[in-house]
Amino acid sequence: MKKNLSVASMISLIIAAVLIVISIFIPWWGMKFFAPQYPEGLDIIVYPTTLDGDIEVVNGLNHYIGMKEFSNQSFPELAYMPYIVISFAVLTLLVAFLRKKSFLFGLIILYVIGGIVGLLDMYRWLKKFGTELDPKAPIDLDPFVPPIIGENTIANFVTNSYFTYGGYLLGIVFILMIFPLWKDRKK
């Protein structure tokens, strides 16, 4: 088989694979809530495998507006995310060692599709949680969809949603995947 990716490109992809694996252990996304009675803020921190932060406190507060409880069980994706992420890492390593441009294109397309699906899935959850409110809840609130990135105000809470280290890492992974295309462009 003709290898048409350079050694530099191979190294770039190996690093990308390593970063993908590392990202499993660090948070990807988060949301922080502020209110007068919570000046220090409440956190929801999302790792690819688990939820962290003040989940129980947020659940306690959310029941006032009739939002469903957050838990690892309410997001089945979290259970198989590690497999998806590891598969991507393995795939990236394969492409790195096979050093074939067409495979790299395939990988990038898969990665982009994966990213878009991921974002759509997140949006779906945010919409589901924000709009399917229990009609019997003590506080009547218009349905709302918190943004994936940015500020939002719900009742007396100001929320900030943001991508964090793991998310940034996946951005860097994308650059590392694109890099061989530039490096080994036809002269």
Partner 1 sequence: MKRKGIISAVSGLAAGVLVAAVFFADFNKEEKASSAADNKSKAEKVYVPYGEYDDYYMLASGGHSGQLFVYGVPSMRKIRTVPVFTPDPATGYGYDENTKKMLGGYTWGDFHHPAVSETKGDYDGEFLFANDVGNNRVAAVDLSTFHTADIMSLPNMGGPHAGVFVTENTEYIALPTRFARPLGGKYAELDKYKEEYKGVVSMAKFDRDKKKFNLAYQIMLPPWSYDLSDAGKKMSGDWIVMTTYNTEFATTNLEINASQNDRDYIVLINWKKLEGEVAKGNYKEIEGVKMVDPRDYKGAIYAIPVSKSPHGVDVTPDGKRFIAAGKLAPLMTVFSFEKAFEAIEKEDYSDEKFGIPVLPYKKVMEREVDPPGALGPLHTQFDDKGNAYNTMFISSEVVKWKVDTGEVIDRKPSYFSPGHSSAAEGDTVDPDGKWLVALNKIAKDNFLSVGPSHPESMDLFDISGEEMEHIMAAPVDPEPHYAQIVHKDKIKPKKLYEKDEKRKNAVWSKEDAHIERKGNEVHVYGVALRSKFVFDAKSDRPDAVTVNQGDRVFFHMTNIDLDQDITHGFGINDYNLNFEVQPGQTNTLEFVADQAGTFPIYCTNFCSALHQEMSGYLLVKPKE
Residue from the set 64, 80, 97, 168 that interacts with partner 1 by CB under 8 A: 64
Residue from the set 36, 76, 135, 138 that interacts with partner 1 by CB under 8 A: 138
Residue from the set 15, 18, 57, 181 that interacts with partner 1 by CB under 8 A: 57
Q: Is 155 among the residues that bind partner 1 (CB under 8 A)?
A: no
Which C-beta is closer to partner 1: that of 109 or that of 139?
A: 139
Kindly determine how many residues on this chain lie close enough to bind partner 1 according to the rule CB under 8 A: 7
CA 42: distance to chain centroid? 20
Q: Is 97 among the residues that bind partner 1 (CB under 8 A)?
A: no
Q: Is 115 among the residues that bind partner 1 (CB under 8 A)?
A: no
Q: Is 106 among the residues that bind partner 1 (CB under 8 A)?
A: no
Residue with tokens 């490096």: 183
CA 60: distance to chain centroid? 25
Query: Please, which residues have CB within 8 angstroms of residue 43's CB and are 6 or more apart in sequence?
Result: 30, 31, 32, 33, 52, 53, 54
C-alpha span between 29 and 181 (Å, rounded): 29
C-beta of residue 95 within 8 angstroms of C-beta of residue 180: no
Where along the sequence are the contacts to partner 1 (CB under 8 A)?
Answer: 54, 56-57, 60, 63-64, 138
